Structure formats: C-alpha cells, structure tokens
Structure 1
Amino acid sequence: MVQAARELFAEHGFHATSIARLSERSGVLVGQIYRDFANKEAIVAALVEHDLDEFLAADELCAARCTSDRAMVRAWIARFIACDDIGDTRLIAEITAESYRNPRIAAIFDAMEDRLHGQLVRALTIIVPDAGNEQRIGRLAEAILIMAGGMCQRRINTRSTAPEVLALMMAFIDAEIAAIERDPRP
C-alpha cells in the first residue's frame, strides 16, 4: 500500500490522490487503509520515515560508532552529502511542496530534520570525541545539513553534480573538524 502511495503521490500529487485511488492501486480495502493509517499525512509520515531510515544507513553509522572508525564515519558523511540515492525526485518535490501548505507534513519534516541533526552530531562526535565541542559540533552538523539539502535540491533539478563539488564540501568539513580538534572552545 505504501508503494502504491509513493507511486500515486509522484504521478498525481498529494491532493489528487484519494484513499479510494490508493485502495484501487494497492488492492487494499479502504477500511484496511484507515485501520493502518489515520489519514494521508500518516501515509506520508510512513514514506518519509522509511526513506530516512534507508538514507541514514544507521546500521553503518552504528558499526562505526562501536569501532570508533573515523574513516567509516567520514565516508558516511560524504555519502550523506552526496545525496546519490534520493529516489523518485517527483515524490520528494511533491512532499516538500506539501510541507509548505500543510502544518502536519511540516511537522513530519521538522522531526526528520531533528533526527538528521542528531545523527550528524553523533557521527561528528565519533570523529571529535573531546568533550566541550558540543556547540561547534552542532553548528558543523547544521552546515552539513544545509550542504546535503542543497545537494539534494541540485540533484532534483539537474540530476547531477560534479565530483569536485563534493570534494570541496568534504574539504570544508575536514578543515572544520581539524579546527575543532585544535581548539575545542565554542
């Protein structure tokens, strides 16, 4: 059912996709859909949560955390910024647009941003574990979110970005990490 919603939202948009159309495409009865999801926003939340889980590759980050493997964490951050596996760009554009019109979808996006920020802070703390860096690590995590968001938007619009751009972003991140290691003060 969620896959049918993904396809229909991408093809027809959020508003033009009715629960009846979802039922028809998925083969799931309308009553069952409403037992599983309170409304279309709940379906969007399920889509975003699933995609975010895949995008974050949390298992990989957890493995890096357990071993304190800085190179693995850096590679995870590079993949995060590269935004190579963003999926159906039509769906992303539709849900993003809906987040500006619909406070419930906006709340889903806010929760996603908080979760992404938290994962980035955890990743950066593996690389720079010294206490006292919380503010700077938080700001660097925010900068990484902005870079990744820009890269994703670029991929939605043009579907490609030169590898040199990612290298430049990673050089900035590496320089900021080195600066935090040299002087951990806020």
Structure 2
Amino acid sequence: MPSADRRLEPRRKPHQVRAELTRKRILTAAAHVFAEHGYAAGTTNRIAERARVSIGSLYQYFPNKEAILAELLIQHIDPGTWTGADDLDLSPGTLETTVRALIRDAIDNHSDDPRLLRVMIEEASVSQELLDTIERHGKLRTAQVRDVVVRHPDSRVADPELAAEIILFTVEMNTHKFMAAPQAAPVEAFENELVAMVTRYLRGDR
C-alpha cells in the first residue's frame, strides 16, 4: 500500500456548526467543479467561487485541491458498508438473490456521478486518513461478506475468509471500472454477468 502524503492533511477540523457547514459547502462545490471541468481545470479558485466563499476561507480548511479530492474519496468510501446485509433471506435456493443484493448495493454506491468517480479513481492522492478509511472499510465489508458466505447453506467454498476477500475485490474493482467509464453495455447486463460469476464461484461450479 502506498505511503501517505502529509500535504493532504486538512488544515482545520470544524468544531462549530457554522464551520462544518462551510466545509461541507466547499466539498459539495468541489464535487461539482471536478465533475464539470475535470481535475486539471478544477482549481481552488473555481471551487471557492462555486462554494461562495473567499479563497482565504477555503485555505483555512484545505491546503490545496489535492486535499479536497482526497476528502471526497474518503466520504465516498466511508458509508460503503453492505446496506441490508443483516436482513437477507439465507434459506436454501436464495444464493443468487443474495449475491445480487451485494452487487446491486455496490452499483448503487457508485451511481451518483460517473465523471466525479473517474476523477477520484484517476487523480486522488493518498492521505493517512484515506489509508485508514480504506483499511476500516475493507475489514468491515469483508466481515459482512464472510458472515453471509459462512451462513448460507448453498455456499461450497473451502475458505470463507479468503472467499470473502476475493468476492469483495472482484465486485468493487469491476464496479468501479464499469461505473466510471463510458458504458458500452447496460448496467443491467453488467450486473447479471457479475452475479452469475460470483454465484457460480460460491456454489463451487466447475
């Protein structure tokens, strides 16, 4: 894993409601600017103008646009747990439905703005907070997938922990790539192919 870049550390962590609202406004504005203009043209001046704050105010919170993009990626990753994992029907014959719920959740988490997603994937630098977020997210989501793999009666994998890591990597990497790129195929076709692949793997089909 790459080392953290200290230049990306935010300058100010808000403790008051007004300051937190300003920080959120800057991040929202940055998301729009990066999506509309791209990373190279997404300057801090443009972000400040879009957020309706002075450039000096922006620099009170973030030292540069690299730190802003790193924070946007952290926010993208942080809520990415498997929504509804505790409410799944794990009775016999439901493995494909269970896998589809996992993949549909991953797709939904990456469907907001493909242009911004592409900028985050291609341009974001690595902060310590981002590294910590990736590690925390990976452990939590792997544990969720492993729990389903262990409990589902149709699963035939020999090593649930390893299987959970393989499934999570496969689903997230392919979803990131597909949702961030101009799509030659419908999302439904992508979903169906990924569901079929993961389901066959869990069933032990040869």
TM-score (structure 2 length as normaliser): 0.63
Query: Where do residues 84-99 of structure 1 align in structure 2 (5 Å cutoff)?
Result: 85-99=110-124
What is the rounded CA distance, in whole Å, between the counterparts of 1:126 and 1:9 in structure 2? 38
Alignment partner, residue 7 of structure 1 = 32
What is the rounded CA distance, in whole Å, between the counterparts of 2:41 and 2:131 in structure 1? 24
Higher relative contact order (CA 8 A, sep 6+): 2
Q: Residues 83 and 152 of structure 1 are in contact (CA less than 8 Å); yes or no, is this contact kept in structure 2?
A: no
Query: Where do residues 52-131 of structure 1 align in structure 2 (5 Å cutoff)?
Result: 52-53=77-78, 56=80, 58=81, 60-61=83-84, 64-65=85-86, 70=90, 74-82=99-107, 85-99=110-124, 104-105=125-126, 114=135, 117-129=138-150
Query: Where do residues 15-34 of structure 1 align in structure 2 (5 Å cutoff)?
Result: 15-34=40-59
Offset at residue 93 of structure 1 (A): 2.5
Q: Residues 100 and 195 of structure 2 are in contact (CA less than 8 Å); yes or no, is this contact kept in structure 1?
A: no
Where does the alignment leave 5 or more consecutive residues of structure 2 unmatched?
A: 1-25, 152-157
> What secondary structure is seen at the aligned counterpart in 2 of 1:147?
helix
> What secondary structure is seen at the aligned counterpart in 1 of 2:83?
helix
Offset at residue 157 of structure 1 (A): 0.7
Offset at residue 163 of structure 1 (A): 2.5
C-alpha distance after superposition, 1:109-161 (max 9, x if no partner): 876765564344223212123795222322222222233234324xx312751
**Residue 166 of structure 1 pairs with residue 191 of structure 2:** yes
What is the rounded CA distance, in whole Å, between the counterparts of 1:95 and 1:162 in structure 2? 20
> What secondary structure is seen at the aligned counterpart in 2 of 1:38?
coil
Query: Where do residues 146-157 of structure 1 align in structure 2 (5 Å cutoff)?
Result: 146-153=173-180, 156-157=181-182
Alignment partner, residue 67 of structure 2 = 42
Change (3 A) 1:84 1:60: closer
Matched residues, percent identical? Answer: 21
Offset at residue 43 of structure 1 (A): 0.9
Q: Which has the higher helix share?
A: 1
Q: Residues 81 and 148 of structure 1 are in contact (CA less than 8 Å); yes or no, is this contact kept in structure 2?
A: yes
> What secondary structure is seen at the aligned counterpart in 2 of 1:60?
coil
TM-score (structure 1 length as normaliser): 0.68
Change (3 A) 1:24 1:147: closer
Aligned pairs, how many?
169
Question: Runs (4+) of structure 1 moved beyond 6 Å?
Answer: 106-112
> What secondary structure is seen at the aligned counterpart in 1 of 2:112?
coil
> What secondary structure is seen at the aligned counterpart in 2 of 1:50?
helix
The 10-residue stretch of structure 1 (110-119 or 25-34) with the greater mean CA deviation from structure 2 = 110-119
CA RMSD across the alignment = 3.5
Where does the alignment leave 5 or more consecutive residues of structure 1 unmatched?
A: 181-186
Change (3 A) 1:141 1:22: closer
**Residue 137 of structure 1 pairs with residue 164 of structure 2:** yes
